[in-house]
Amino acid sequence: AAAEKGGFASFMDKEIHDQPQAVTDTLLGRSDAQGRLVLDDLRIDESVLRAVDKIIVIACGTAAYAGHVAKYAIEHWCRIPVEVELAHEFRYRDPIVNEKTLVVAISQSGETMDTLMAVRHAREQGAKVLSIVNTNGSTIPRESDAVLYTHAGPEIAVASTKAFLSQITAAYLLGLYLAQLRGNKFPDEITALLDELRDMPRKVQTVIERSEYVRATARSMSEADKVLFLGRHVGFPVALEGALKLKELAYIHAEGFAAGELKHGPIALIDAGQPVFVVVPSPRGRDHLHSKIVSNIQEIRARGARTLVIAEDGDDEVRRYADEIFWIPRAPSLLQPLLAVVPLQIFAMELATAKGLDVDQPRNLAKSVTVE
Ligand code: G6P
């Protein structure tokens, strides 16, 4: 087993380090000589894809958060409404699904029973189902109309890491492909976005190389009993994922919030010393999101929170309000989740390790939940 871990202390640590390669492999071989996206394994008629008027992403756990991230990108690029729903809720809610609905099922294992049942339910109502799956030949792709494999390689640790990055990458490829097919974007815009995506593995590598500070911070916080996570826009699902990782691995009560929601309730949780992670959007982004989150940080700090901030290189403004700061390389706003989640994964793993817990096999959890 030591050899399989490639010299790392755990499969999870190895899989975190595999992430640049996982993203590279998800992107591999997906454009032609002219730079146009080609998704060969996508066996749904182009005419059907052009007619799609709604996308519903179904998944569970970390895969659902990947879908949540993808919603922001696909709606922005394709102008198609995207809903994201937990598979077990979708299945029993009498959802509105028809031939013009594209259901996107995201699953690392391809065996999650809740997701599989939702796939069957969607197809019974006439929807096309495209699955984004890591495990070749698993059940969900066999029962889907089309599959986009993530090619991240086997993921052993129960808590998902590299699968998450590759699921976002694959969903982005799908979004760009739909934009290309439906003419929502000029070819050179798509090429530019693809080039940015291809540059992400190098940046993910940089985040991993800078991880010593987040590791040390995690070790110093092994007594923490509740941790909050805030984000906006694509940083919101990143916050949810950061909280999930901490629950799964370190058995700490952790919760993620949309930062805009703070004043509607969660701010009541803030008292002296409360650790709060904040995922800060790029100061170069649109919509003033950066200044909004800077004021959120000031609000919680005024109430005693200890702020652990994930920010883009060069963000001098937020530096003043951070108790701890974890820097990530600059990237287009929609691509930031691929970087921002990495320190959160490492934090959870390291804190759990400091508590003497088994990060590959957390209590009560299974890698693949094949019962309803
Ligand atoms: C289990 C795992 C999670 C995973 C979820 C969905 O709960 O512990 O890490 O995110 O299932 O699994 P899937 O294989 O469908 O992505």
* ipTM score: 0.88
Q: Which residues of 9-36 are buried (b: 16+ CB within 10 A; e: fewer)?
A: ebbbbbbbbbbbbbbbbbbeebbeeeee
Determine what percent of the chain is predicted with pLDDT higher than 90. 87
Determine what percent of the chain is predicted with pLDDT higher than 70. 99
The pLDDT value given to residue 200: 98
Q: What is the DSSP letter of 358?
A: -
Q: Ligand 1: which residue has its CA nearest to atom 4?
A: 61
Give per-residue pLDDT as tens, 69-121.
999 999 999 999 999 999 999 999 889 999 999 999 999 999 999 999 999 99
Q: Is the CB of 369 under 6 A from ligand 1?
A: yes
Residue 18 has pLDDT above 70, yes or no: yes
For the chain, what is the radius of gyration of the CA atoms? 20
Give per-residue pLDDT as tens, 147-182.
999 999 999 999 999 999 999 999 999 999 999 999
Mean pLDDT value across residues 11-23: 97
Give per-residue pLDDT as tens, 34-49.
778 888 777 788 899 9
Catalytic residue among 5, 292, 355, 367: 367
The question of whether 367 is a catalytic residue gets the answer: yes
The pLDDT value given to residue 240: 98
Q: Is the CB of 365 under 6 A from ligand 1?
A: yes
The pLDDT value given to residue 245: 98
**Residue 130 alpha carbon to ligand 1 centre in Å:** 18
Give per-residue pLDDT as tens, 189-241.
899 999 999 999 999 999 999 999 999 999 999 999 999 999 999 999 999 99
Terminal-residue alpha carbon distance, the chain: 31
The pLDDT value given to residue 177: 94
What is the rounded CA–CA span in Å between residue 311 and residue 330? 9
Pocket test for ligand 1, best of 11, 62, 90, 361 (most atoms within 8 A of CB): 62
The pLDDT value given to residue 275: 98
Q: Is the CB of 112 under 6 A from ligand 1?
A: yes
The pLDDT value given to residue 1: 65
Give per-residue pLDDT as tens, 313-332.
999 999 999 999 999 999 99
Q: Is the CB of 107 under 6 A from ligand 1?
A: yes
Pocket test for ligand 1, best of 15, 57, 60, 248 (most atoms within 8 A of CB): 60
Q: Is the CB of 368 under 6 A from ligand 1?
A: yes
Q: Is the CB of 108 under 6 A from ligand 1?
A: yes
What is the rounded CA–CA span in Å between residue 108 and residue 138? 10
Pocket test for ligand 1, best of 368, 370, 371 (most atoms within 8 A of CB): 368
The pLDDT value given to residue 56: 98
Mean pLDDT value across residues 134-144: 96
Residues with Cβ < 8 Å from 233, sequence gap 6 or more?
72, 281, 287, 289, 333
Q: Is 232 exposed, middle or buried (0-12, 13-18, 19+ CB in 10 A)?
A: buried
What does pLDDT average to over the chain?
94
Residue 259 has pLDDT above 90, yes or no: yes
258 and 285 in contact (C-beta within 8 Å)? no
